[in-house]
Amino acid sequence: MTIVVQHAAPASHVSLPRPRSSGEGQTAWLAVSPALLLLIVLLFGPAIAVIVFSLTDWQLGSATFHFIGAANFKALFADLAFWTALINTLIYVGVVVPGTVLLGLVTALLIEASPRLRGFYRAVHFLPVMSTMSAMAIVWGTMLHPTIGLVNRLLGTIGISGVNWLRDEHTALLALAAIGIWQSFGFAMVLFVSGLKAIPQQLYDAATVDGADGIFDRFRTVTWPMLGPVTMFIVILSASRAFEVFDSVRVLTQGGPNYASEVLLHRLYTESFDFLRTGYGAALTVIYLSIVVLLTLTQAKFLERRVHYT
């Protein structure tokens, strides 16, 4: 997961006397100025703007605005649609993350177990990661079609009559979660493989000497404990990705039926750009931003710890 650098480090760290041109600082500022300007205009400015918008009643196109304090947030917290979207997003994350991690781990272990067909399996499992979600969501939509869809055809062969997955309040969110797992488990697999490659062979040799040479013994005593940090990292990563679920919802259900598959980012989109409720949308964005920042910080913490270990 780290970049392998192809240059050998200089054997001795004799730092040559740098020609301290008085222009070094100037050159540096010239080099960073475009990036600095754009960071302010396109990243930090907008981030502050979102917070300001969330405290006003401004709407796109209107000439005036008033500061209304926390009124947008009050409206948000009183809105059942918001809570439904938040709970649905948490359910979605709660299904997709374990599914992704478990499938990713099992496939990684099996692919690494022997060299046979390794490249083929890796490529096949990674294809969904590379595919454009909006197009594949349409494909999934036809697969989940109540009468001609593959899923119900297959269930029909074993005598089960499937429901209309995406139009049924009980199954819409779970169907979307299955699509989410389908798209992300190959990525988890690749990360697990790089974690497995980092486990020193000596540990397995030592385990064999200690009599732990069965597949499950080896996994319990060496692989799983050594994969701990990587697993935690993958859990957080797939959680942040699952929080961003939007494409499949927009394409297949638009949050329906009756808000059963409404999620945070889709609410944000609908309020901000369909209804143009800028202040309300901004308040929603602030909540979303806080959640994602928290997740990313947790992830960074784990990454730091891992760097210390290796």
Partner 1 sequence: MTARSHNRLIGRIARHAILAMTAAFALVPFVWMISLSLKPPEEIFRADFHLWPTAFHGVENYRAALTAAPMFRFLLNGAMVCAAIFALQLLVCIPCAYALAKLRFRGRDTLFAAVLVGLLVPPQALAIPHFVLLYVFGLLNTYASLILPWIISAFGIFLMRQFFRSIPDDVIHAARLDRLSEFEIIWRIMMPMSAPALAAFGIFSVVAHWNDLFWPLIAIRSEELSTPALGILLFRDDEAGQFFGPLMAGAVVIVAPLLLAFLFAQRRFIDGLTITTMK
Eight-class DSSP state of 2: P
Q: How far apart are CA 280 and CA 299, in angstroms?
A: 29
Considering beta carbons, is residue 130 or 206 the nearer one to partner 1? Answer: 130
Minimal distance, residue 46 CB to partner 1, in Å: 3
Considering beta carbons, is residue 30 or 87 the nearer one to partner 1? Answer: 30
Eight-class DSSP state of 198: T
Q: How far apart are CA 276 and CA 60, in angstroms?
A: 7
**For residue 81, how far is the Cα from the chain centroid?**
23
Minimal distance, residue 164 CB to partner 1, in Å: 16
Q: 67: which strand partners?
A: 56
Minimal distance, residue 5 CB to partner 1, in Å: 4
Considering beta carbons, is residue 32 or 160 the nearer one to partner 1? Answer: 32
**For residue 132, how far is the Cα from the chain centroid?**
15
In this structure, are residues 68 and 55 in contact, taking their beta carbons and an 8 Å threshold?
yes
Minimal distance, residue 170 CB to partner 1, in Å: 22
Q: Which residue has the tokens 């959680």?
A: 239
Minimal distance, residue 169 CB to partner 1, in Å: 23
Considering beta carbons, is residue 87 or 293 the nearer one to partner 1? Answer: 293
Considering beta carbons, is residue 4 or 80 the nearer one to partner 1? Answer: 4
In this structure, are residues 101 and 235 in contact, taking their beta carbons and an 8 Å threshold?
yes
